[in-house]
Amino acid sequence: MRTIDWIDEAIVLVDQTRLPGDLTYLRITTVAELIDAIKRLAVRGAPALGVAGALGVALAARTGEPIGPLREARPTAVNLAWGVDQAAAAPDPLARALRIRDEDIAACLAMGVLGADLLAGHGATRVMTVCNTGGLAAVERGTALGVIQTMHERGTLREALALETRPLLQGARLTAWELARMGAPHRLIVDSAGPFLLARGAADAVLIGADRIAANGDTANKIGSYALALGARRAGVPFLVIAPETTIDLATPGGDVITIEDRGPAEVLSIGGVRLAPEGAGALNPAFDVTPADLITAIVTDRRVIRLDRGETPDHA
Protein backbone atom coordinates (compact mmCIF):
# COMPACT_ATOMS: atom_id res chain seq x y z
CA MET A 1 0.00 0.00 0.00
CA ARG A 2 1.47 3.31 -1.12
CA THR A 3 0.26 6.39 0.75
CA ILE A 4 0.53 8.56 -2.33
CA ASP A 5 1.08 7.77 -6.01
CA TRP A 6 0.42 8.89 -9.58
CA ILE A 7 -2.19 6.74 -11.31
CA ASP A 8 -3.98 7.46 -14.61
CA GLU A 9 -3.03 11.14 -14.73
CA ALA A 10 -4.11 11.80 -11.12
CA ILE A 11 -2.65 11.84 -7.64
CA VAL A 12 -4.14 8.99 -5.62
CA LEU A 13 -3.63 9.19 -1.87
CA VAL A 14 -4.89 7.62 1.32
CA ASP A 15 -7.39 9.91 3.05
CA GLN A 16 -5.82 9.87 6.52
CA THR A 17 -8.70 11.80 8.07
CA ARG A 18 -10.83 8.64 7.64
CA LEU A 19 -8.38 6.36 9.51
CA PRO A 20 -8.43 4.19 11.51
CA GLY A 21 -12.06 3.43 10.69
CA ASP A 22 -11.99 3.43 6.89
CA LEU A 23 -9.12 2.93 4.46
CA THR A 24 -10.22 5.12 1.54
CA TYR A 25 -8.42 6.91 -1.27
CA LEU A 26 -8.80 10.37 -2.78
CA ARG A 27 -8.28 10.87 -6.51
CA ILE A 28 -6.83 14.38 -6.90
CA THR A 29 -6.94 16.05 -10.33
CA THR A 30 -6.42 19.72 -9.50
CA VAL A 31 -3.90 21.71 -7.45
CA ALA A 32 -6.79 23.26 -5.51
CA GLU A 33 -7.95 19.79 -4.43
CA LEU A 34 -4.39 18.89 -3.42
CA ILE A 35 -3.99 22.06 -1.33
CA ASP A 36 -7.23 21.26 0.47
CA ALA A 37 -6.05 17.70 1.16
CA ILE A 38 -2.75 19.02 2.55
CA LYS A 39 -4.37 21.68 4.75
CA ARG A 40 -6.83 19.23 6.33
CA LEU A 41 -4.10 16.57 6.72
CA ALA A 42 -5.72 14.04 4.41
CA VAL A 43 -2.12 13.77 3.23
CA ARG A 44 0.51 14.68 5.82
CA GLY A 45 4.02 13.98 7.03
CA ALA A 46 7.15 15.64 5.73
CA PRO A 47 8.26 13.02 3.18
CA ALA A 48 4.73 12.51 1.87
CA LEU A 49 4.36 16.28 1.53
CA GLY A 50 7.54 16.38 -0.55
CA VAL A 51 6.10 13.86 -2.98
CA ALA A 52 2.73 15.62 -2.95
CA GLY A 53 4.34 18.96 -3.74
CA ALA A 54 6.28 17.53 -6.66
CA LEU A 55 3.26 15.68 -8.07
CA GLY A 56 1.23 18.86 -7.61
CA VAL A 57 3.56 20.64 -10.02
CA ALA A 58 2.90 17.89 -12.55
CA LEU A 59 -0.83 18.49 -12.05
CA ALA A 60 -0.34 22.23 -12.49
CA ALA A 61 1.40 21.59 -15.82
CA ARG A 62 -1.88 20.00 -16.94
CA THR A 63 -4.39 22.38 -15.36
CA GLY A 64 -2.51 25.67 -15.63
CA GLU A 65 -3.02 26.42 -11.92
CA PRO A 66 -0.40 28.45 -9.99
CA ILE A 67 1.97 26.52 -7.74
CA GLY A 68 2.70 29.29 -5.21
CA PRO A 69 -0.27 28.48 -2.94
CA LEU A 70 0.73 24.79 -3.06
CA ARG A 71 4.28 25.62 -1.96
CA GLU A 72 2.92 27.60 1.00
CA ALA A 73 0.12 25.21 1.99
CA ARG A 74 1.95 24.21 5.22
CA PRO A 75 5.03 26.18 6.30
CA THR A 76 7.03 23.99 8.69
CA ALA A 77 7.93 20.86 6.73
CA VAL A 78 10.73 21.88 4.37
CA ASN A 79 9.89 18.93 2.13
CA LEU A 80 6.73 20.49 0.65
CA ALA A 81 8.52 23.55 -0.74
CA TRP A 82 11.50 21.39 -1.68
CA GLY A 83 9.33 19.00 -3.70
CA VAL A 84 7.58 21.87 -5.49
CA ASP A 85 10.90 23.54 -6.29
CA GLN A 86 12.49 20.31 -7.53
CA ALA A 87 9.64 19.55 -9.93
CA ALA A 88 9.25 23.17 -11.05
CA ALA A 89 12.93 23.32 -12.00
CA ALA A 90 12.80 20.07 -13.97
CA PRO A 91 12.25 19.90 -17.73
CA ASP A 92 9.76 17.07 -17.04
CA PRO A 93 8.04 17.76 -13.68
CA LEU A 94 6.23 14.44 -13.63
CA ALA A 95 9.37 12.44 -14.26
CA ARG A 96 11.13 14.30 -11.45
CA ALA A 97 8.16 13.80 -9.13
CA LEU A 98 8.14 10.05 -9.81
CA ARG A 99 11.87 9.91 -9.08
CA ILE A 100 11.25 11.73 -5.77
CA ARG A 101 8.59 9.13 -5.00
CA ASP A 102 10.98 6.26 -5.73
CA GLU A 103 13.86 7.94 -3.87
CA ASP A 104 11.64 8.25 -0.79
CA ILE A 105 10.81 4.53 -0.88
CA ALA A 106 14.53 3.71 -0.97
CA ALA A 107 15.34 6.30 1.70
CA CYS A 108 12.86 4.85 4.17
CA LEU A 109 14.32 1.36 3.72
CA ALA A 110 17.83 2.74 4.29
CA MET A 111 16.81 4.70 7.41
CA GLY A 112 15.19 1.57 8.82
CA VAL A 113 18.45 -0.34 8.56
CA LEU A 114 20.68 2.44 9.87
CA GLY A 115 18.33 3.21 12.72
CA ALA A 116 17.76 -0.40 13.78
CA ASP A 117 21.53 -1.03 13.66
CA LEU A 118 22.16 2.00 15.90
CA LEU A 119 19.51 0.88 18.41
CA ALA A 120 20.90 -2.65 18.41
CA GLY A 121 24.23 -1.15 19.39
CA HIS A 122 22.50 0.44 22.37
CA GLY A 123 20.69 -2.79 23.24
CA ALA A 124 17.42 -0.87 22.87
CA THR A 125 14.30 -3.00 22.50
CA ARG A 126 11.64 -0.69 23.96
CA VAL A 127 11.09 2.59 22.14
CA MET A 128 8.87 5.62 22.53
CA THR A 129 7.66 7.77 19.66
CA VAL A 130 5.34 10.71 18.97
CA CYS A 131 2.94 11.49 16.16
CA ASN A 132 2.93 9.31 13.04
CA THR A 133 6.07 8.59 11.09
CA GLY A 134 5.16 5.39 9.28
CA GLY A 135 4.32 4.71 5.68
CA LEU A 136 1.37 7.10 6.04
CA ALA A 137 3.86 9.97 6.49
CA ALA A 138 5.92 8.90 3.47
CA VAL A 139 5.28 6.67 0.45
CA GLU A 140 6.04 3.35 2.18
CA ARG A 141 7.42 2.31 5.62
CA GLY A 142 8.24 5.83 6.89
CA THR A 143 11.00 7.23 9.07
CA ALA A 144 10.96 6.64 12.85
CA LEU A 145 8.17 4.09 12.55
CA GLY A 146 10.11 2.58 9.65
CA VAL A 147 12.95 1.93 12.09
CA ILE A 148 10.46 0.39 14.51
CA GLN A 149 9.10 -1.78 11.69
CA THR A 150 12.63 -2.95 10.87
CA MET A 151 13.23 -3.79 14.53
CA HIS A 152 9.99 -5.78 14.56
CA GLU A 153 10.96 -7.63 11.38
CA ARG A 154 14.32 -8.47 12.96
CA GLY A 155 12.64 -9.69 16.17
CA THR A 156 14.32 -7.03 18.31
CA LEU A 157 11.25 -4.95 19.22
CA ARG A 158 9.93 -5.65 22.70
CA GLU A 159 7.48 -2.75 22.73
CA ALA A 160 6.67 0.55 21.06
CA LEU A 161 5.03 3.20 23.23
CA ALA A 162 3.16 5.68 21.05
CA LEU A 163 2.02 9.08 22.25
CA GLU A 164 -1.59 9.69 21.22
CA THR A 165 -0.49 13.11 19.90
CA ARG A 166 -3.14 15.69 20.62
CA PRO A 167 -4.95 17.47 19.14
CA LEU A 168 -5.28 15.50 15.87
CA LEU A 169 -4.31 12.15 17.40
CA GLN A 170 -1.90 10.98 14.71
CA GLY A 171 -0.50 8.52 17.25
CA ALA A 172 -3.80 7.07 18.45
CA ARG A 173 -5.39 7.01 14.99
CA LEU A 174 -2.50 6.33 12.61
CA THR A 175 0.53 4.93 14.45
CA ALA A 176 -1.56 2.45 16.42
CA TRP A 177 -3.24 1.43 13.14
CA GLU A 178 0.10 0.89 11.39
CA LEU A 179 1.63 -0.98 14.35
CA ALA A 180 -1.41 -3.24 14.57
CA ARG A 181 -1.23 -3.98 10.83
CA MET A 182 2.42 -5.06 11.16
CA GLY A 183 1.65 -7.07 14.31
CA ALA A 184 4.11 -5.10 16.42
CA PRO A 185 3.76 -5.00 20.24
CA HIS A 186 2.64 -1.53 21.25
CA ARG A 187 0.65 0.54 23.69
CA LEU A 188 -0.69 4.06 23.49
CA ILE A 189 0.03 6.68 26.15
CA VAL A 190 -1.28 10.18 26.69
CA ASP A 191 1.22 12.82 25.61
CA SER A 192 1.96 14.19 29.09
CA ALA A 193 2.84 10.67 30.36
CA GLY A 194 5.87 10.45 28.05
CA PRO A 195 8.52 12.18 30.16
CA PHE A 196 7.35 10.50 33.37
CA LEU A 197 7.37 7.02 31.82
CA LEU A 198 10.90 7.70 30.58
CA ALA A 199 11.88 8.64 34.13
CA ARG A 200 10.41 5.30 35.28
CA GLY A 201 12.48 3.37 32.71
CA ALA A 202 9.64 2.42 30.35
CA ALA A 203 11.70 2.89 27.18
CA ASP A 204 15.33 2.43 26.11
CA ALA A 205 15.23 5.14 23.42
CA VAL A 206 13.02 7.83 21.93
CA LEU A 207 12.60 8.00 18.15
CA ILE A 208 10.94 10.92 16.37
CA GLY A 209 10.56 12.12 12.81
CA ALA A 210 11.23 15.64 11.61
CA ASP A 211 9.65 18.36 9.55
CA ARG A 212 12.69 20.57 9.22
CA ILE A 213 16.27 20.09 10.47
CA ALA A 214 18.38 23.25 10.65
CA ALA A 215 22.06 23.38 9.74
CA ASN A 216 23.07 23.20 13.42
CA GLY A 217 20.84 20.16 14.06
CA ASP A 218 17.94 21.95 15.77
CA THR A 219 14.86 19.96 14.75
CA ALA A 220 11.25 21.00 14.20
CA ASN A 221 8.80 18.18 14.74
CA LYS A 222 5.33 17.50 16.12
CA ILE A 223 4.42 19.35 19.30
CA GLY A 224 5.47 17.21 22.25
CA SER A 225 8.86 16.27 20.81
CA TYR A 226 10.71 18.85 22.91
CA ALA A 227 9.14 17.55 26.13
CA LEU A 228 10.23 14.01 25.21
CA ALA A 229 13.77 15.27 24.55
CA LEU A 230 13.92 16.86 27.99
CA GLY A 231 12.58 13.67 29.55
CA ALA A 232 15.01 11.50 27.60
CA ARG A 233 17.98 13.60 28.67
CA ARG A 234 16.89 13.46 32.32
CA ALA A 235 16.36 9.71 32.05
CA GLY A 236 19.66 9.15 30.25
CA VAL A 237 18.16 7.44 27.18
CA PRO A 238 19.13 8.18 23.55
CA PHE A 239 16.93 10.66 21.64
CA LEU A 240 17.07 9.96 17.92
CA VAL A 241 15.70 11.94 14.99
CA ILE A 242 14.97 9.80 11.94
CA ALA A 243 14.60 11.79 8.72
CA PRO A 244 15.72 11.67 5.08
CA GLU A 245 18.40 14.05 3.84
CA THR A 246 15.63 15.99 2.09
CA THR A 247 14.38 17.17 5.50
CA ILE A 248 17.71 18.83 6.28
CA ASP A 249 17.52 22.53 5.44
CA LEU A 250 21.06 23.94 5.39
CA ALA A 251 19.64 27.34 4.43
CA THR A 252 18.13 27.57 7.92
CA PRO A 253 20.94 28.17 10.40
CA GLY A 254 19.06 27.33 13.59
CA GLY A 255 15.70 26.36 15.02
CA ASP A 256 14.85 29.85 16.26
CA VAL A 257 13.95 30.99 12.74
CA ILE A 258 11.82 27.97 11.75
CA THR A 259 8.19 28.96 11.11
CA ILE A 260 5.91 26.96 13.40
CA GLU A 261 2.48 26.30 11.91
CA ASP A 262 -0.32 27.64 14.11
CA ARG A 263 -3.42 25.57 13.28
CA GLY A 264 -5.84 27.74 15.25
CA PRO A 265 -7.94 27.05 18.39
CA ALA A 266 -10.70 24.85 16.95
CA GLU A 267 -8.64 21.64 16.95
CA VAL A 268 -7.96 22.09 20.69
CA LEU A 269 -11.44 23.17 21.73
CA SER A 270 -13.25 20.30 20.01
CA ILE A 271 -12.49 16.73 19.00
CA GLY A 272 -14.25 14.85 16.25
CA GLY A 273 -16.74 17.70 16.03
CA VAL A 274 -17.64 17.44 19.73
CA ARG A 275 -16.98 20.58 21.78
CA LEU A 276 -14.68 19.89 24.75
CA ALA A 277 -14.15 23.33 26.27
CA PRO A 278 -16.82 25.77 27.42
CA GLU A 279 -17.99 28.40 25.00
CA GLY A 280 -15.73 31.43 25.10
CA ALA A 281 -12.58 29.46 25.93
CA GLY A 282 -9.56 30.33 23.81
CA ALA A 283 -6.72 28.00 22.80
CA LEU A 284 -3.13 28.05 21.55
CA ASN A 285 -2.32 25.36 18.96
CA PRO A 286 1.29 25.28 17.72
CA ALA A 287 1.46 22.19 15.49
CA PHE A 288 5.22 21.75 16.01
CA ASP A 289 8.01 22.54 18.41
CA VAL A 290 11.80 22.78 18.08
CA THR A 291 14.20 20.45 19.87
CA PRO A 292 17.63 22.07 20.26
CA ALA A 293 20.55 20.08 18.90
CA ASP A 294 22.12 19.69 22.35
CA LEU A 295 19.19 17.48 23.41
CA ILE A 296 19.49 15.19 20.36
CA THR A 297 21.78 12.15 20.48
CA ALA A 298 21.84 11.54 16.72
CA ILE A 299 20.09 12.24 13.46
CA VAL A 300 19.68 9.12 11.32
CA THR A 301 19.18 9.81 7.63
CA ASP A 302 19.11 7.53 4.59
CA ARG A 303 22.84 8.09 4.10
CA ARG A 304 24.47 8.68 7.49
CA VAL A 305 24.23 8.86 11.25
CA ILE A 306 24.99 12.38 12.45
CA ARG A 307 26.24 12.08 16.06
CA LEU A 308 25.22 15.40 17.57
CA ASP A 309 26.35 14.04 20.97
CA ARG A 310 29.88 13.98 19.54
CA GLY A 311 29.77 17.49 18.13
CA GLU A 312 28.76 16.58 14.56
CA THR A 313 26.17 18.72 12.79
CA PRO A 314 24.24 18.26 9.52
CA ASP A 315 26.49 20.75 7.77
CA HIS A 316 29.63 19.22 9.28
CA ALA A 317 29.43 15.44 9.67
Ligand X SMILES: CSC[C@H]1O[C@H](OP(=O)(O)O)[C@H](O)[C@@H]1O
What are the residues binding ligand X (CB under 6 A)? Answer: 44-47, 131, 133, 137-138, 142-143, 170, 208-211, 221-222, 287
Q: How far is CA 147 from CA 108, 214, 257, 285, in A?
A: 8, 22, 29, 29
Binding-site residues for substrate:
44-46, 74, 170, 221-222
Contact of 290 with 297, CB cutoff 8 Å: no
Please say which residue, 78 or 124, places its beta carbon nearer to ligand X: 78
Give SS3 for 137: helix
119-134 as b/e, with b when 16 or more CB fall inside 10 Å?
A: beeeebbbbbbbbbbb
Distance CA 280, CA 154 (A): 51
Note if 211 is an active site residue.
yes
Q: Which residues lie below 8 Å from residue 110, measured CB to CB, with a gap of 6+? A: 302, 303
Q: For 35, how many CA atoms within 13 A lie in the half-sphere containing its CB?
A: 17
Of the candidates 211, 249, 289, 302, the residue annotated as catalytic is: 211
Give SS3 for 274: strand
DSSP letter (8 states) at residue 316: B
Give SS3 for 212: strand
Residues tagged active-site? 211
